[in-house]
Structure 1
Amino acid sequence: MADTVLEAIEQAADELAELGPDNEKLGRLTDDAAAALRRTGVIRLLQPAKHGGHEAHPREFAEAVLATARHDGSSGWVAGIVGVHPWEMAMADPRVQEEVWRSGPDTWIASPYAPMGTARPVGGGYVFDGRWQFSSGTDHCDWIFLGGRITDAEGTPLQPMRAAHFILPRSDYEIVPDSWDVVGLKGTGSKDVVVREAFVPEYRVIDFGSLVDGTAPREAGLTNPAYHVPFTCAFPLGITAAVLGIAEGALAHHMAYQRQRVQITGTKVVDDPYVLTAISEAAAEISASRVALLDNASRMYDAVAAGREVTFDERAVGRRTQVQAAWRAVRAVDEIVARSGGNALRGDNPIQRFWRDAHMGLAHAIHVPGSVFHASALTQLGIDPPPGPMRSMI
């Protein structure tokens, strides 16, 4: 089934590419671009089979996101972000799954997961408030996952913090117009969302700790190993795959542009050994980033498929691999853009859009290297897993 999705993405390639500038101008995916993504089935790759999904291998999901982002960065980014949400929804209460997919398998779910909201317990659930940034693809979504902190009855956040993901229908939150004015990934429409005193029933809440420690899929009775891959591998996978796909798209446009280009010195690029060497080095770096990301996802999958728990050390190394893959690929994009000449940065040349999209994707919090690299080094030195922020998202 994953091969069928890849075929559908390639069949939609020209349409996705042509709609890229329109997405950027509109500040979100056009309705045609969203419809094209729905036709490919990429968002349903990690969705439960009982709700029309494919329950695919995480590697196959990443490959489909890579393929989509090669044609248009914003479409690939939405595929990577929105596409991981059905994976988590598989761990939710069956009642909310039925609510979400009652109208059909192509219902999309937005996020973000950052715990920017507060949830005060009341009878049967929580009263939820907050404002969140970066809700990618949100205009085309009918439900949303929102991160929040649980408080006591008076509204004071619990200590230590207890975080959860709250699931809300479109009627319970507001999308803030004109809240996405950025340099790259403009077409993702990653706008702010606001929730005001919404009641969220208990069955629409997933404890964040249970996602990270792996108890959520076990308690949900899920048997497919795809759902037992650590959250800290699955959640970043679509994001980083989108960045690497954007890098591949930048390289493809660069190669097409350079074939006939004559530099101001009169030298054809195909006769310039310095530029050709830089192109080859960049291509090798982007390819190596792809291999590293996909291999990491496969290793995690193989471990849980064998019935083994993925250790903190392995998760830290996996996050290090994922973060470094993104940085490595975007540095390579910088190298080829620097050798593309001034005309590559004109508004009608797609190279500059892929370059901007790549850097915007690298700025996502999941790609911040400091604490991830620190924690990974400590664990490999045999030091007990570090406390506090360095454990976050590992």
Structure 2
Amino acid sequence: MTVCAETALQADVLPAAAVRTQVTVPLRFPDGFSTTAEVLTFHGLADGKEHLLLALGPWEQALLGGVPGTPIAAEGPEGHGLPLVRLHSECMTGDVFGSQRCDCGPQLREAAEKIAAAGGFLLYLRQEGRGIGLYSKLDAYALQDTGLDTYDANLALGHGEDERDYTAAAQMLEALGATRIRLLTNNPDKSGQLTSLGIGVAEQVPTGVHLSPANSSYLAAKRNKTAHTLELSQADVGHVQPAKAGNVPSHDEMLNRVEELVPRLRERAEETERLRRLPEATMEELKEAGVFRILAPRNVGGFGMGVETYGEVIRRLARGCASTAWTAGHLIEHVWMLARWPQNVQDEVFANGPAPLAAATSAPVGTAGRVPGGFSISGHWSFASGVMHSEWALLAVECDGVRLQCLVPVAELQLVDAWHTAGLRGTGSNDLRAENLFVPGHRAMDWSLLTAEDNPGSLIHEDPMIHTPMATLLNLVAPAAALGAAEYAVEVFREGMLQRKVKNTVESRQADSPLAQARFGKAWGLVETARLHWQEAVQTVAESHRRQPSSLTDGERASYRLSLALCGEAAEEAVRLAVSGSGGSAHRLSHPLQRIQRDVSVLLNHPTLSLDPVIEQAGRGLLGLGFTVPSF
């Protein structure tokens, strides 16, 4: 084989490595195959890792090109065989524990036998998970369970598809004089890298196809995306299903998961208020249910679900605890907000999984000044819901008359314990403060760009939701929580009516009173009214996602906001009727109705449910007069 000038130059500058130790080790594999290896270690490897070379079979003869009976390699010296070499990247799960999610264990076993017969070298390279490390590989497995392939999972974690470098392998081979080899592999990248490093690959010998029910998609991805020489028929791939297929839940499956949480949320409601944040048990259950992945795009490992699922999850969580619904609703939404940023930021925030938790606050707006490499920001921001559980904070600032959103690690901010309120106490919506804090330029974005339909993330993700204007989902949280809490209140009211005896009446229980029956009927009707308004609003947004362009018209936006405001108003009145009809015991701190009433009262004071400005702007939109509040 003729080595090109560029390759020769690279070979000339390849740092030399030297054999450090050599020890004889007898090998025995689980299926009974045994052989003996000379295990070599090295000084001077380029990456400083503890790679091993196992010399197997008549390896010394192979180096001299004189192993009888070996296949004749293309351009082999006088027809004699060359050393057979396998570059095997460490795989603890496959090599040690026998995982069937990959084909590494069977390839290692196959290589040992073939090289022992032909004479050559098995290089065991410490490059777990195609170079991303063991923990990251396991994180990638979790993403693969959601539908990503082995390469996209690496990318979703912020890694390259394959980060392996074979410089150390070339050094080891050169140290033994094995500068022309036969390479046992299906991976063309190994051959290409060795050749560029000055190791002549006279022949690429394919490994077997080690297909299992758990690795068919993995093997297909290697064949389709990185040109591995794997003979896989459609029948092979089609009949062998990947492990845990279908891990993205359906709408109904997700709601069932949330429904299962409701009784435990009710049990922890007092603890949630006392802590002024969500208990760790609640956060763990929300994570296990996949709640924070609902709006995360699928190609980062999220579920990529729609507005119907998002809204219903908040509503149902509120049947257990309004503080939990409010916090979870915003944390879910903020994952979706992070997915609107450019790729370099997404690589950073989604590096540890598909659901990075972030608080977001815009009131009041901070200040920013340009400095080399980015911005210096200062401010005091209020109402950072979910900050007690967040790694990141999204902060609004103004710089030279332009509003920006800055992404900042919570650890770099001062947390101000300011959330002492009558309701929604468990949301932990504390304040944040910063003074001349440096924010890199890539983590500051024009607010108008991030909030728009054509945001940077819309060029990355195919999920229709990513085009939704940002305010649309913000407006859903308070009415969804108010509706769910009102449904819970009417449920508690009903249970009490069927059990309690009311003083100064002749009925044996409250439910037997015609006046109480009328009160309950009105409360029930108000919840039904709130629900119909809610469903109308959600349907308006959902239908907009089924068309192009997906923008809401002014009339649709007016109708949407009006429906949500009327939903909140009806929910609040239903709660008032339930509490006023439940007697003095409803005001004990141990009674759920007093907490529901306080929570809903706070919800109705949120700007998204502040009735007067909402109905004013809605009226303008419905009359075709245009909005005087641009963010409406």
**Fold conserved (TM > 0.5)?**
yes
Which stretches in structure 1 are left out of the alignment for 5+ residues? 152-157
> Structure 1 residues 295 and 381, CA, compared in 2 at 3 Å: closer, same or farther?
closer
Q: CA 1:217 to 1:260, structure 2 compared with 1: closer, same or farther past 3 Å?
A: farther
Structure 1 pair 79–290 and aligned structure 2 pair: CA distance change class (3 A) = farther
CA displacement at 1:212 relative to structure 2:
4.5
Matching of residue 210 in structure 1 with residue 449 in structure 2? yes
Change (3 A) 1:289 1:205: farther
Q: How does 1:195-344 map to 2 (within 5 A)?
A: 195-216=434-455, 220-266=459-505, 267=507, 268-308=509-549, 309-344=551-586
Q: Which residue of 1 aligns with 2:415?
A: 175
User: Could you tell me which amino acid in structure 1 is paired with residue 305 of structure 2?
Assistant: A
CA–CA distance in structure 1, aligned partners of residues 457 and 259 of structure 2 = 36
Tell me which amino acid in the other structure corresponds to 1:94. Answer: Q
Q: Is the 8 A contact 1:117 1:129 kept in 2?
A: yes
Distance change in 2, residues 1:29/1:218 (3 Å): closer
Give the match's secondary structure for 1:254: helix
Is this contact kept in 2: 1:150–1:164, CA < 8 A? yes
Is residue 395 of structure 2 the alignment partner of residue 146 of structure 1? yes
- Asked whether 1:68 is paired with 2:317, we answer yes
In the alignment, the residues of structure 1 paired with residue 595 and residue 613 of structure 2 have an alpha-carbon distance, to the nearest angstrom, of 30
Give the superposition deviation at 1:45: 0.6
Q: What's the TM-score, normalizing by structure 2?
A: 0.58
Larger Rg: 2
Give the structure 1 partner of residue 283 of structure 2.
34
Instruction: Check 1:213–1:12 CA distance in 2 against 1; reply closer, same or farther (3 A cut).
Output: closer
Letter of the 2:415 counterpart = I
How far apart, in 2, do the equivalents of 1:386 and 1:254 lie?
40
Q: Corresponding residue for 2:69?
A: none
1:45 lines up with 2:294 in the alignment: yes
Given that residues 345 and 443 in structure 2 are in contact (C-alpha distance below 8 angstroms), is that contact kept between their aligned partners in structure 1? yes
Task: Give aligned pairs, total.
Answer: 380
Question: Which amino acid letter does the alignment assign opposite residue 405 of structure 2?
Answer: H
When residues 219 and 42 of structure 1 are mapped into structure 2, their CA distance, relative to the original with a 3 A threshold, is closer
Q: Tell me how far apart the structure 1 counterparts of residues 526 and 332 of structure 2 sit (CA, whole Å).
A: 26
Q: Report the 3-state secondary structure (helix = DSSP H, G, I; strand = E; otherwise coil) of the residue aligned with 1:144.
A: strand
Gaps of 5+ in 2: 1-248
Report the counterpart of residue 155 of structure 1 in structure 2: none
Contact 2:298 2:463 (C-alpha < 8 Å) held by counterparts? no
Aligned match for 2:433, one of 170, 183, 194: 194
What's the CA shift for 1:219? 5.2
Offset of 1:141 from its aligned partner?
0.7
Shift of 1:275: 1.7
In the superposition, relative to structure 1, how do residues 290 and 150 fare at CA in structure 2: closer, same or farther (>3 Å)?
Answer: farther
Structure 1 CA distance for aligned equivalents of residues 610 and 275 of structure 2: 29
Cα 1:53–1:210 shift into 2, 3 Å: same
Distance in 2, Cα, partners of 1:304 & 1:64: 19
- Specify the code of the residue in structure 2 equivalent to 1:220: L
Q: Is the 8 A contact 1:68 1:76 kept in 2?
A: yes
Partner residue, 2:588: 346
- List structure 1 segments (4+ residues) > 4 angstroms apart after TM superposition: none
Distance, in Å, in 2 between the alignment partners of 1:24 and 1:32 is: 14
TM-score, normalised via structure 1 length = 0.91
For the residue of structure 2 that corresponds to 1:215, the secondary structure is: coil
| Cα distance in 2, alignment partners of residues 24 and 67 from structure 1 | 19
Which one-letter code corresponds to 1:249 in the other structure? Answer: Y
- Relative to 1, partners in 2 of residues 1:337 and 1:47: Cα closer, same or farther, differing over 3 Å? same
Q: 1:386 to 1:103 in 2, by over 3 A?
A: closer
Structure 1: distance between partners of 2:456 and 2:252? 26
Bigger RCO of structures 1 and 2 (CA < 8 A, at least 6 apart): 1
**2:268 aligns to what SS in structure 1?**
helix
Do the aligned residues in 2 keep the contact of 1:28 with 1:189 (CA within 8 Å)? yes
C-alpha displacement at 1:221, in angstroms? 4.3
C-alpha deviation, 1:14, in angstroms: 2.3
2:362 partner SS: coil
114 and 243 in structure 1: CA distance in 2 versus 1, 3 angstrom threshold: same
Residue pair 1:108, 1:140 contacting (<8 A) in 2 also = yes
- More helix by proportion, 1 or 2? 1
Q: What CA distance in whole angstroms lies between the structure 1 residues aligned with 2:368 and 2:553?
A: 31
Amino acid at match of 2:441: E
Change (3 A) 1:298 1:225: farther
Map Cα deviations across residues 203-246 of structure 1 (whole Å, 9 max, x no partner).
22332223444232675344322222332321111232112111
Do structure 1's residue 381 and structure 2's residue 630 form an aligned pair? no
1:230–1:300 Cα contact (<8 Å) kept: no
- What is the aligned partner in structure 1 of residue 359 from structure 2? 110
